[in-house]
Amino acid sequence: MTEKNNSLEKKYEFAWDKYTKKDLVEVSALSERYKEFMSKCKTERECVTEFVTRAEKSGYKDLNDIIKGNLRVKPGDKVYANNKGKAVVMFHIGKESMDKGLNILGAHVDSPRLDLKQNPLYEDSDLALFKTHYYGGIKKYQWVTIPLAIHGVVVKKDGTVVNIVIGEDDNDPVLGISDILVHLAADQLEKKVAKAIEGEDLNLLIGSIPTSDQKSKNRVKTNMLNIFNEKYGITEEDFVSAELEVVPAGKARDYGIDRSLVMAYGQDDRVCSYTSFEAMLKLEKVDKTCITLLVDKEEIGSVGATGMHSKFFENTVAEVMNAIGDYSELKLRRVLSNSQMLSSDVSAAFDPNYPNVMEKRNTAYFGKGIVLNKYTGARGKNGCNDANPEFIAKLRGIFNSENITWQTSELGKVDQGGGGTIAYILAEYGMEVIDCGVALQNMHSPWEIASKADIYETLRAYSAFLTKA
């Protein structure tokens, strides 16, 4: 138990202490499933494709087919809606009327990365390169001299979608961004860290062989265009309608000699997305309608048609109510305002290398369970969703009765910086919302670190929330 009945003092304990041999087998099995998912799904599109495939196998029906066929939805049914291949919402319909409120797990499937620009390809000094524009908050110096991969789609004029992944198969080449050799870095090393590598320096080296056509003006670039055309049937103009994302190449791995941690790209926020998805698939009969909502664009402000600010979620709830035969505008408002949500997103784990940015009594620690963040924000909680104590009390009651290990955290010291999530956007409906998820080291870096115990406790907490809250 995280809270001793016979003690007045609250002690935050290791989840590891309570695990039996059988528990440890489950902790390890979950981390294997998680690593496999993380190794394969490195973009929002890849996550949504994978989740939709798995959901369909598990009996989820496409809401579009229900609408087109004018079909009815009833308690026990499982329905999903795919938002342009980049966000997805899953419904497991409960026995109770939806205006009793929904239990919602909301997470995001986009992660910080480098996107190719619209005119990415150029030749400079007999090398072929891609221009990039970073997406989300990154420390640019972390992205040079590491193996990178390209994942994404090119959409041709006729609407054909060409899927591209370069750099993940063992036989694939990898790509990368150069850094100046230390011998000649005297000027660079005098710069501030934020300026040492600048946005326009993040150019990806992709080739160096010239085409055999001696008359061609940019022989190396021309050779690359030939390769793209042979391999993918695309021309230079096709890059204009593409979403190609540069991400760290390689698989998710165990981290630490005791194998207690996972190192993976994109754990913000796919660690919460994946555990929410598993919790959803585990549901059997539910009283309240349960929802997992996985959105795009959180890292750039939840904007756009696939971000949390779009009306997609609200519209989808209305469609599902209509398919149940119980829709009215007023009822929709009631459904949303009576709902409860875990805004499932990552927190910062205490890092003994950088103790000065954390306040030790209000920070998360590896292995101490799922993290509850009453608030995030910056400069006096600005812009945050400050969760209601009534809701937090209900959650800790559920977590304690299920023997789930949990802890609380703030994002660093007061006035050290800050951040936000999708929590405040759903709270606009008047629903109860709290930020709740897994603590990471190296957040927003190419390789983020999470504790296997925390991932396991988070899955258990999400399951308990869906069925008991």
CB of 137 to Mn ion, least distance (A): 7
Q: Which is nearer to Mn ion, 234 or 364 (CB)?
A: 364
Q: Which is nearer to Mn ion, 245 or 268 (CB)?
A: 268
Q: Which is nearer to Mn ion, 336 or 438 (CB)?
A: 438
Residue 266: closest CA among 47, 144, 132, 112: 112
Closest chain position to Mn ion (CB):
269
Number of H helices, E strands in the chain: 12, 22
Distance of alpha carbon 228 from the chain centroid? 30
CB 343 within 8 A of CB 298: no
CB of 87 to Mn ion, least distance (A): 14
Q: Can you tell me which residue has the tokens 């991932």?
A: 455
CB of 213 to Mn ion, least distance (A): 46
Q: Rounded to whole angstroms, how far apart are CA atoms 103 and 341?
A: 6
- Reduced to 3 states (helix: H, G, I; strand: E, B; else coil), residue 379 is coil
Q: Which is nearer to Mn ion, 48 or 63 (CB)?
A: 48
Greatest Cα-to-Cα distance within the chain, rounded to the nearest angstrom? 85
Q: Rounded to whole angstroms, how far apart are CA atoms 45 and 29?
A: 25
Q: Rounded to whole angstroms, how far apart are CA atoms 295 and 122?
A: 33
CB of 102 to Mn ion, least distance (A): 22
Q: Which is nearer to Mn ion, 111 or 310 (CB)?
A: 111
Q: Rounded to whole angstroms, how far apart are CA atoms 424 and 251?
A: 33
Angle at which helices 44-57 and 21-40 cross, to 10° = 120
163-202: burial string, b at 16+ Cβ within 10 Å, e else: ebbbbbeeeeeebbbebeeeeeeeeeeeeeeeebbeeebb
Q: Which is nearer to Mn ion, 2 or 343 (CB)?
A: 343
CB 23 within 8 A of CB 42: no
CB of 112 to Mn ion, least distance (A): 7
Overall size of the chain counted in residues: 469
Residues that bind Mn ion (CB under 5 A): 268-269, 345
Alpha helices in 179-308 (DSSP H): 186-190, 193-196, 219-232, 267-281
- Reduced to 3 states (helix: H, G, I; strand: E, B; else coil), residue 373 is strand
Q: Give me 412's structure tokens.
A: 């660093």
Q: Give me 344's structure tokens.
A: 């499932």
CB of 183 to Mn ion, least distance (A): 36
Q: Which is nearer to Mn ion, 93 or 440 (CB)?
A: 440
Q: Which is nearer to Mn ion, 296 or 345 (CB)?
A: 345
CB of 207 to Mn ion, least distance (A): 32
Q: Which is nearer to Mn ion, 77 or 296 (CB)?
A: 296
Q: Rounded to whole angstroms, how far apart are CA atoms 74 and 321?
A: 10
Q: How would you class 139 by CB atoms within 10 Å of its CB: exposed for 0-12, middle for 13-18, buried for 19 or more? A: middle
Q: Which residues fall within 8 angstroms of residue 365, CB to CB, at 6 or more apart?
A: 12, 349, 350, 407, 439
Q: Rounded to whole angstroms, how far apart are CA atoms 226 and 247?
A: 24
CB of 442 to Mn ion, least distance (A): 12
- Reduced to 3 states (helix: H, G, I; strand: E, B; else coil), residue 363 is coil
CB of 423 to Mn ion, least distance (A): 11
CB of 268 to Mn ion, least distance (A): 4
CB of 111 to Mn ion, least distance (A): 7
Q: Can you tell me which residue has the tokens 């080296």?
A: 205
Q: Which is nearer to Mn ion, 73 or 272 (CB)?
A: 272
Q: Which is nearer to Mn ion, 269 or 319 (CB)?
A: 269
